C-alpha cells in the first residue's frame, strides 16, 4: 500500500493502482451505482489532456521532458485503455471533479511508471491550464458526438426500410381510422411513407441539436475567465483538440455562458426524447394494427419471434414493438432528468452534469439498439393481411363519404345510417333505390377512387 494525502487527509492506496486518493474517495463517497463513467467520456478526457499539454508546451509553459512523458502516457492509455483504473461512478457529486482527477491521476501514474526518474503531478502538470469546469462538459459533448453515428445510422436504416414498405404496399388499400373510429380509406403505402417522413424529421432535428455540442468551453477554466491559462493556450487549445480528434469543434464565443449554462444538453436530450415519442407512437400503431388475430384489427402480420404465453398455446405477442415502447418510456424519463438537472444549475456553474451525461449517453445507446431490433426483427418480414383490409373497406359505411360532393352531407348521412341499421352496404342501397347508376357506383367505390378521389 502507498500513503497519499489531499486537503481532507491521508488515505492508503493499493501499490499497483494507477488511480490515486481523489479517485478512491469518489468510489467510496458515491456508492449509488456500479456503473462507471462512460468509456467514451474517459477516452475524450485523455484526448483533451494530450491536447492541453501540447498547447502548454507550445506556449513554453511546460518543459519538454514532462511534455513528452504526458503525451506518451496519453497515447498509451488511448491504445491500452486500462478502464479498470477509471473507478469513479457515473453518478457523482462534485460537478465531475472526481472524473477529472481520476484521469489526471492515471495519466500521471502511467507517465511515472514509464519514466520513474521524473515526478509528474496530477494537478500541476496533467491538469495545467485546465479546470473540471471546462474539461468535463467538453469531454461529455465529445462523447455524445462520438456515440451519435450509430444512432443516426440506425434511423437512416429505419427510414430506408419504411420507404421500401411504402413502395411494396403502394396500392394496398386499408381503412383509415381517426379516434379509433372508421374513417376514409387510404393505403398502407401512404401510411408507411408518412412514418418515414416522421423519422426524417427526427433525424434532422437530432443533427441540428448535435451541432450545438460542437461549441466547447476549453480555455475558460473555472468560470470562463481563463484563470491560470496563457493567451497562447486559450487561442490554440481547440485547434489542438481538433488535430487529435478531427471533430470540427469550436471555442464558444462566450466562455462564461458556456460553463454556467447547459441548455445545449437540454436541446440535444429533447431531440432524443422526440425520437422516443415517435418510436413509441409507431410501435403503438404496429401493435394495434396487428392485434387479434381473430378478434382484433388483424391488418398487419408481424413476424413471430417467440411464444407469448406460458398458459395459452400458440399465443404470439408483439414483443418487438413492446420493447421499443419501454425504451421510449425510459428515454422520456432521461429527458425529464436532464431538464431538472439543467434547471438546477446555480450562478457560474451547473453541478449536475454527471447525471445529464449518464442519461444522454445511455439514451443514445438504447435508442440505437431499439431501432436495430425494430427493423431487423419486426419491419423486415412484416406483411399485410390484404383480404382483411379490403373486407374492412367494403363493409365500412364511412366509405360513403365520397358521396357528399354528389348527394350532399345530409343525404349521405341518412344512407350511412340506413346501411348500418340494416346491415347493408351503401353501394347496394344506391343501386337498389336507383339513386346512382351501377357504373357510377362502381367508379365511386373502386379502391383507386376511394384513395385518390377524382385525381
- Residue 304 DSSP code: P
Residue 401: predicted pLDDT? 87
Residue 88: alpha-carbon gap to chain centroid: 24
Q: So what's the pLDDT on residue 313?
A: 85
Q: What is the pLDDT of residue 423?
A: 87
**What's domain 143-217+254-386's architecture?**
Up-down Bundle (1.20)
Residues annotated as catalytic are 309
Give, to the nearest 10 degrees, the angle between helix 39-58 and helix 97-114.
Answer: 70
Q: What is the mean pLDDT of residues 44-51?
A: 98
Q: What are the DSSP calls for 389-416, one per residue?
A: HHHHHHH-GGGGGGGHHHH-HHHHHHHH
Res 454: pLDDT: 54
pLDDT one-digit tens code per residue, 56-85: 999 999 999 999 999 999 999 999 999 999
pTM above 0.85, yes or no: yes
- Joined together, the cell numbers standing for residue 448 give 383507386
| End-to-end CA, the chain | 84
Q: What is the topology classification, in CATH, of domain 396-452?
A: Ribonucleotide Reductase Protein R1; domain 1 (1.10.40)
**Residues 376-391: pLDDT tens digits?**
999 999 999 999 998 8
Query: How does pLDDT run across 197-254, given as a tens digit for each residue?
Result: 999 999 999 999 999 999 999 999 999 999 999 999 999 999 999 999 999 999 999 9
Answer yes or no: is pLDDT of 455 > 60.
Answer: no
CA nearest neighbour of 255 among 125, 349, 341: 349
Confidence of residue 334 (pLDDT cuts 50, 70, 90): very high
Res 88: pLDDT: 97
| Domains 2-128 and 143-217+254-386 in one fold | no
Whether the per-residue pLDDT at 453 is higher than 70: the answer is: no
The better pLDDT of the pair 362, 412 is held by: 362
pLDDT of residue 302: 95
User: What's the sign of the alpha-carbon dihedral 19, 21, 23, 25?
Assistant: positive
Averaged pLDDT of the chain: 95
Query: Residue 119: is its pLDDT beyond 80?
Result: yes
| Cα separation, 84 vs 82, whole angstroms | 5
Q: Which CATH number does 2-128 carry? A: 1.10.275.10
The conformation of residue 122, written as its DSSP 8-state character, comes to I
What's the CA gap between 75 and 45, in Å, rounded? Answer: 12
* Residue 398: per-residue pLDDT: 84
Residue-range domain boundaries for the chain: 2-128, 143-217+254-386, 396-452
C-alpha–C-alpha distance, residues 358 and 140, integer Å:
9
**Structure confidence at residue 252 (pLDDT):** 97
Is the pLDDT reported for residue 169 higher than 60?
A: yes
Amino acid at each position: 500500500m502507498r500513503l497519499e494525502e489531499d486537503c481532507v487527509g491521508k488515505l492508503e492506496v493499493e501499490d499497483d493502482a494507477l488511480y490515486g486518493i481523489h479517485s478512491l474517495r469518489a468510489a467510496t463517497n458515491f456508492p449509488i451505482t456500479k456503473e462507471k463513467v462512460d468509456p467514451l467520456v474517459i477516452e475524450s478526457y485523455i484526448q483533451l489532456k494530450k491536447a492541453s499539454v501540447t498547447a502548454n508546451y507550445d506556449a513554453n509553459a511546460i518543459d519538454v521532458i514532462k511534455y513528452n512523458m504526458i503525451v506518451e502516457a496519453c497515447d498509451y492509455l488511448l491504445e491500452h485503455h486500462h478502464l479498470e483504473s477509471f473507478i469513479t461512478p457515473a453518478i457523482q457529486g462534485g460537478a465531475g471533479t472526481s472524473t477529472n482527477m481520476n484521469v489526471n491521476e492515471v495519466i500521471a501514474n502511467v507517465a511515472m511508471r514509464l519514466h520513474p526518474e521524473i515526478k509528474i503531478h496530477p494537478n500541476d502538470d496533467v491538469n495545467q491550464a485546465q479546470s473540471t469546469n471546462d474539461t468535463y462538459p467538453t469531454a461529455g459533448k465529445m462523447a455524445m458526438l462520438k456515440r451519435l453515428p450509430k444512432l443516426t445510422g440506425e434511423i437512416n436504416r429505419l427510414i430506408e426500410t419504411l420507404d421500401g414498405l411504402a413502395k411494396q404496399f403502394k396500392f394496398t388499400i386499408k381503412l383509415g381510422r381517426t379516434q379509433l373510429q372508421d374513417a376514409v380509406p387510404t393505403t398502407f403505402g401512404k401510411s408507411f411513407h408518412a412514418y418515414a417522413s416522421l423519422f426524417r424529421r427526427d433525424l434532422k432535428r437530432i443533427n441540428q441539436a448535435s451541432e450545438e455540442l460542437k461549441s466547447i468551453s476549453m480555455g475558460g477554466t473555472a468560470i470562463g475567465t481563463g484563470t491560470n491559462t496563457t493567451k497562447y493556450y486559450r487561442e490554440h487549445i481547440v485547434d489542438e483538440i481538433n488535430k487529435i480528434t478531427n471533430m470540427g469543434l469550436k471555442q464558444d464565443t462566450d466562455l462564461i455562458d458556456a460553463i454556467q449554462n447547459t441548455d445545449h444538453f437540454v436541446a440535444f436530450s429533447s431531440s432524443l426524447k422526440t425520437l422516443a415519442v415517435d418510436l413509441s407512437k409507431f410501435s403503438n400503431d404496429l401493435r394495434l394494427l396487428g392485434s387479434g388475430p381473430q378478434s382484433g384489427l388483424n391488418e398487419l402480420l408481424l413476424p413471430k419471434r417467440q411464444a407469448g404465453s406460458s398458459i395459452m398455446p400458440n399465443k404470439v405477442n408483439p414483443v418487438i414493438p413492446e420493447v421499443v415502447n419501454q425504451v421510449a418510456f425510459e428515454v422520456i424519463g432521461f429527458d425529464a432528468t436532464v431538464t431538472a438537472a439543467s434547471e438546477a444549475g446555480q450562478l457560474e456553474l451547473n453541478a449536475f452534469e454527471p447525471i445529464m451525461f449518464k442519461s444522454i449517453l445511455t439514451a443514445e445507446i438504447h435508442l440505437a439498439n431499439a431501432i436495430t431490433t425494430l427493423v431487423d426483427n419486426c419491419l423486415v418480414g412484416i406483411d399485410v393481411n390484404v383480404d382483411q383490409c379490403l373486407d374492412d373497406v367494403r363493409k365500412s359505411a364511412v366509405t360513403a363519404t365520397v358521396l357528399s360532393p354528389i348527394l350532399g352531407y345530409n343525404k349521405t348521412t341518412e344512407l350511412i345510417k340506413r346501411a348500418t341499421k340494416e346491415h347493408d352496404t351503401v353501394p347496394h342501397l344506391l343501386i337498389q333505390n336507383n339513386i346512382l347508376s351501377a357504373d357510377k357506383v362502381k367508379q365511386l367505390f373502386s379502391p383507386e377512387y376511394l384513395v385518390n378521389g377524382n385525381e
